[in-house]
Amino acid sequence: MSGFASTIKIGPPGDEVELPPSGGGGMTGFSFRLGGRRVDQRTLIQELSSSVLRRHGYAAQVTLQGVPEATMLSIASVSGLVNQELSFVFADAWPLNSEQYTLLTTTTFEMKSTPFLLLDKAYNAISGARQVNLTGVFDTRKIAGGQSGTNRIASTLAGALNRSTWIVTLDTAGTAGATVYVNYTITGALVVLTDEIQVVQRGFTAAGGQAYDVSIRVAGV
């Protein structure tokens, strides 16, 4: 299944806190920003040049309403990890299509650092499941996915990506220096907290315990 996960999680990779789903005291809002970031730089002779700092930027805010005290306390414990990189898992298999790369050799190219690959690398360090899964490498671009033509990793798929070096190895060779387009899915991002976790006491739960609203803001590393 693609799109948002039924349970969103945040915390140290492999030890995340689950954020309760909507209904009966739970998530009421989830907004995020996703996109590349570019900066303009001027040289000493005032020639304007541009360079891409990060292929994908990521930021998100989650709002929870009416959660019980035990849930609030477990989420609030994440606030003590302000100086740590955290796992933020929000999707089952979110597709990203036609990311452009240049073949270094006839069978390899290197993917660039993103919060999504950094999350997968963190999970790899603890022998955790893949958080990035390649679905295709093509010679043609199609932002919606589903390119026709040869999928150059058809036989290996996820195994084509080295989780430590981000080198992708093709099983069908191309031409060194040629442009290829990679499709893949993600589950989340490696993030840091960008603000205090906001907690407001809001009455009582149906069981009579205290209820709380909680707001969390994060940004990709």
Instruction: List pLDDT tens digits, range 89-138.
Output: 999 999 999 999 999 999 999 999 999 999 999 999 999 999 999 999 99
pLDDT exceeds cutoff 80 at 22: no
% of residues, the chain, pLDDT over 70: 83
14-18, 53-57, 173-177, 186-190: which range is least confident on average? 53-57
What per-residue confidence (pLDDT) applies to 26? 64
Is the pLDDT reported for residue 20 higher than 90? no
End-to-end CA distance of the chain: 26
**pLDDT the model gives residue 59:** 85
pLDDT exceeds 90 at position 174: yes
pLDDT at 2: 61
| DSSP of the chain | --SEEEEEEEESTTSPEEEPPSSSSEEEEEEEEEEEEEEEEE-TT--EEEEEEEEEEEEEEEEEEEEEHHHHHHHHGGGGGTTS-EEEEEEEEEEEEEEEEE-SSSSEEEPPP-HHHHHHHHHHHTTPPPSEEEEEEESS--TTS---S--TTTTTGGGGB-TTT-EEE-SS---TT-EEEEEEEEEEEEEEE-SPPEEEEEEE-TTSSEEEEEEEEEEE-
What is the percentage of the chain residues whose pLDDT exceeds 90? Answer: 49
So what's the pLDDT on residue 178?
Answer: 97
- Per-residue pLDDT, 48: 43
User: What are the structure tokens assigned to 202, written together?
Assistant: 């809001």
As a whole number, mean pLDDT of residues 140-163 equals 91
What whole-number distance in Å separates Cα of residue 119 and Cα of residue 148? 30
CA 74, 80, 83: angle at the middle one, nearest 5?
135
- Give 36-59 pLDDT, tens digit per residue: 554 444 444 444 444 444 456 788
* pTM, two decimal places: 0.85
Domain boundaries, the chain: 4-35+49-220
Task: Give the pLDDT confidence score for residue 39 in this predicted structure.
Answer: 41
Distance of CA 220 to the CA centre of its chain: 8
pLDDT higher for 210 or 57?
210
User: What local confidence, expressed as pLDDT, does residue 1 receive?
Assistant: 45
